[in-house]
Chains A and B, each alone.
Chain A
Amino acid sequence: GESVGLHLPTLSVQEGDNSIINCAYSNSASDYFIWYKQESGKGPQFIIDIRSNMDKRQGQRVTVLLNKTVKHLSLQIAATQPGDSAVYFCADGRGNTPLVFGKGTRLSVIA
């Protein structure tokens, strides 16, 4: 079946730098994409989402980019802070079907 995958399992960035986390998807019918942040021992928290009719969406310090041509999704975090250290998951949604999650990328911020 289709799956949502991630290019890098771990990412280390210096505090204050920008972070970019990447994700690939395989189903061209996917119409909804979400990024979640999960801190240790807690449930995932919603960060930002984007629908397939858009290619960019911005939030507070975060930007999601969607490239439908190559089926690629990225999360950009500006001015990364120690509190951003967590595991980040992308997920793929199609209509009313449940989200399919990737394995996640661990972001470590170096002070």
Chain B
Amino acid sequence: DGGITQSPKYLFRKEGQNVTLSCEQNLNHDAMYWYRQDPGQGLRLIYYSQIVNDFQKGDIAEGYSVSREKKESFPLTVTSAQKNPTAFYLCASSRRGDEQFFGPGTRLTVL
């Protein structure tokens, strides 16, 4: 099946820890994106990448980092610098200028 996967589905983090969220796609899409969603809110862009080895900050990049070493993968690290990381994280991919396909999401909770 072609699609976009995220893991884990649920993630718990202690304060002060870094955690990495996985996002993989086999749709051969050039562009990949990370969004954060808080309860009852819309999606806010964290980082995006339009090509391998290149990425740009979105609206709320502080406290997050990404890498794009492979076309299929775009992992997101939530660092200890992110003051309020508890949220639902969504990864998406697209052909340039076209609809974005979303993964199932990772729910991160800080203990």
Contact = CB atoms under 8 A, between A and B. Distances in A.
Chain B binds chain A:
yes
Interface of A: 32, 34, 36, 41-46, 49, 89, 91, 93, 95-96, 98-104
B41 to A, nearest CB: 6
B85 to A, nearest CB: 18
Given A32-B97, A96-B96, A96-B97, A44 B42 contact: no
B33 A41 contact: no
Chain B facing A: main interface SS: strand
Nearest to B33: A98
A46 B101 contact: yes
Contacts of B104: 42-43
Given A44-B43, A45-B102, A98-B100, 15 more contacts: A34-B100, A41-B88, A43-B92, A43-B103, A43-B104, A44-B90, A89-B42, A89-B43, A91-B100, A93-B97, A95-B97, A98-B58, A99-B100, A102-B42, A103-B42
A104 B42 contact: yes
Nearest to A31: B97
Interface in B12-38: 31, 33, 35
5 contacts: A43-B105, A44-B90, A96-B96, A96-B97, A103-B41
Nearest to A43: B102
B45 interface: yes
Interface in B70-111: 88, 90, 92, 96-97, 99-105, 107
A42 B100 CA distance: 15
A43 B88 CA distance: 10
